Amino acid sequence: MNLQRIALVIEFDGHAFSGWQRQPNAPSVQQTLESALAAIDGCRRELMTAGRTDAGVHARAMLVHADVSAERWHRAPRAYLHGLNAHLPPTVRVIGLKKVAADFHARFDCLERAYCYQIWNRTTLSALDRWRHWWMPRALDIDAMYEASRYALGRHDFSALRASGCQAHSPVREIRDIRIDREGYCIRIEVRADAFLYRMVRNLVGNLVEVGLGKRSPGNFAELLASRDRTRGAATAPAQGLYFTDAVYADFRASELIG
């Protein structure tokens, strides 16, 4: 069978899954999508992703690639979007797609990844969005959090934000932008980097929240980064506040394909 490589942008509710990666005894985003693709193409198709996510983590614009039937693709490209969604549960949606070169790789060709972390900063938990944020009942000083975040910008050894079990060969990464904004009771921390270590964003957020609570100063956060010692840092922020929001490539980004 002649094959055509395509890139797909997916959105999912991580609360329904045990993470991206296929697992033998738990629901995963990968297995769910691959089953839907097999229903269309008539055989198993393996998906490769720009970044793996843990259980409970969401995605607004995750990019994956797959090799599909070239004949079927060229006959009706949009059928893959609508056909996949017809075979998917409401917790996962394909929201964009694009034909790519045969040697394109969603992970290895990715130049930048973006995440957003949401904190519900109110004395009472939200009844509507309890699985969409980290609930923080005490007031947070986002100016102090922003000041601390400046120390994480640039290319550094991020061992102090690296979780045990991380399989990356090097702890060096480049954080290119961090934005912290408040809209009503929701605080959003947006982070862009060339790549991330295992649970790096959640560990970053955990430490920034300690700054926001006055438990550590921005300068102390800088000292933590310089120490390269994870044991000196704050607890990891919970998964449900984290969203994968974009993947950037040489000639397009995932968020541009949505529509």
Nearest to 113 by CA among 14, 28, 190, 55: 190
SS3 205: helix
How large is the C-alpha radius of gyration of the chain? 19
Q: For the stretch 32-61, what's the b/e string if a residue is b when 16 or more beta carbons lie within 10 angstroms of its beta carbon?
A: bbbebbeebbeeebebbbbbebbbbbbbbb
Q: Token match 């130049």: residue?
A: 111
Inter-residue contact 98 to 6 (CB < 8 Å): yes
67 as an active site residue: the answer is no
Nearest to 6 by CA among 75, 73, 95: 73
Read off the DSSP letter of residue 118. Answer: E
Q: For the stretch 135-150, what's the b/e string if a residue is b when 16 or more beta carbons lie within 10 angstroms of its beta carbon?
A: bbeeebebebbbbbbe
Which DSSP string corresponds to 34-57? Answer: HHHHHHHHSS----EES----TT-
Which helix (H) or strand (E) segment is 222 a member of? helix 218-227
Catalytic residue among 13, 41, 54, 109: 54
Q: Report d(CA 132, CA 237) in Å as an integer.
A: 13
Catalytic residue numbers, as ranges: 54
